[in-house]
Structure 1
Amino acid sequence: MTEQNQYGREQALSLLREWTQSDSLRKHALAVEACVAAYGEAEADRLGLSGAERESLLNLYSTTALLHDFDYERHPSREEHPFVGVRELERQGWPVELRTAILGHAEYSGTPRVTHLDKVLFACDELAGFLTACALVKPTKAIADVEVPSVKKKMKDKAFAKGVNRQDVIQGAAELGVDLDAHIAFCIEAMKKRAADLGL
């Protein structure tokens, strides 16, 4: 088995399903993956990657997103998540870049976000959750009907999707060096392409 296959999307999905029973948490992982993978594609294009190099980068972005919260259901406390999961990933031999990005997506871990992947995961995590919430209050429950102005308006409504940290969304776009409106639009488009998988 090649390293790519051993630490590929199917293995990440299998681990996610093993540790996470909640359908909404599994869908959250897929939503974050949609956004992170789209940024991975853009980065691969920017770097002019092709063939195995491109595949390797896209695999890294995809698996990191799928596994960022895989331990959350079993270990939701700040003392344990994502540290327990990262220790398990290290034990299994998952790449250090993936583990570092997962640590970095939790502000309280103290792990700096240095790489593009680190910043993308942080920027997409809370936003993917917020966009899902925005879609689910639409009569159609469809991500296709979510628009940037309404997302911005709902971000100001503190009663809506209270669990989503707005500051992380704003800070994430800033760290990535992307305009917030453009970041929201980019993630909506990415999620629209995976709407069937996300149930949106």
Structure 2
Amino acid sequence: MHSYTRDRAWEVLKEWTESASLIKHALAVEACTEFYGAREAERLGLSGDESAAFTEKYAITGLLHDFDYDRHPSLEEHPFVGEKVLAEQGWPEEIRRAILSHADYSGVPRETHLERALFACDELAGFLTACALVKPSKSIFEVEVTGVKKKMKDKAFARAVKREDMTQGAELLGIPIDDHINNCLTALQARAEELGLKGTAA
């Protein structure tokens, strides 16, 4: 039985993705999705190896959700091409289904906690990254919930990010938007160095 690990997922991502910003996005979504996986594992009373395996599944899903995007960015192809490749490689259906469900147009409803977490984290991770990069220090540590909410109202800022996906994501997870923003900030801050969001010291 092949073990589908985070390391293997990283290899797949690197093999398919040349864009540095897309790799950073995958890492950011991984960090946020993994945060919710760890929280859900705790809620379910999992511990030790069980908890680690459960959480890793969330990390892998976040890491791979856009892995085919560099080569197949069209709505006809992404994420369908990627899902097919993952199926051929024998990745679990649960992960593949979550990846399909993050695209509104795929027709796959978001039913599991994993599917909801991925959707909730995808746009927000990108938005929080954008919020950090407009700071003079380019530091995620300077991003605050109130500032993020203000930027959400500013239609000109990070125009491509769908605001309704962020609010709908929080609703799907059953938490207030402020908590969702705060959770994702915490997750990104924990991996700021790797994401290039540590910023310059003032």
What TM-score results when the alignment is normalised by the length of structure 1? 0.97
Which residue type is aligned with residue 106 of structure 2?
Answer: S
Rounded to whole Å, the distance in 2 between the matches of 1:84 and 1:178 is 32
The runs of 4+ residues in structure 1 deviating greater than 4 Å are: none
Deviates more, 1:48-57 or 1:65-74: 48-57
TM-superposed CA distance for 1:163, in Å, is 1.2
Rounded to whole Å, the distance in 1 between the matches of 2:154 and 2:176 is 21
CA RMSD between the two structures:
0.8
TM-superposed CA distance for 1:141, in Å, is 0.4
Rounded to whole Å, the distance in 1 between the matches of 2:94 and 2:153 is 34
Rounded to whole Å, the distance in 1 between the matches of 2:117 and 2:160 is 20
Rounded to whole Å, the distance in 2 between the matches of 1:68 and 1:194 is 19
Provide the residue aligned with 1:131 in structure 2.
128
Unpaired runs of at least 5, structure 2: 198-202
Provide the residue aligned with 1:164 in structure 2.
161
Rounded to whole Å, the distance in 1 between the matches of 2:38 and 2:140 is 21
How far does the alpha carbon of each residue in 1:45-72 deviate from its partner, in whole angstroms, 9 at most, with x for none?
Answer: 1111112321221111010000000000
Provide the residue aligned with 1:17 in structure 2.
14
Q: How many residues align?
A: 197
1:103 equivalent among 100, 104, 126: 100
TM-superposed CA distance for 1:80, in Å, is 0.4
Aligned pairs (5 A) from 1:1-200: 3=2, 6-200=3-197
Unpaired runs of at least 5, structure 1: none
**SS at 2:72's partner residue?**
coil
Rounded to whole Å, the distance in 1 between the matches of 2:107 and 2:168 is 16
Identity level (%): 62
Rounded to whole Å, the distance in 1 between the matches of 2:59 and 2:49 is 15
TM-superposed CA distance for 1:23, in Å, is 0.6
Which residue type is aligned with residue 85 of structure 1?
Answer: G
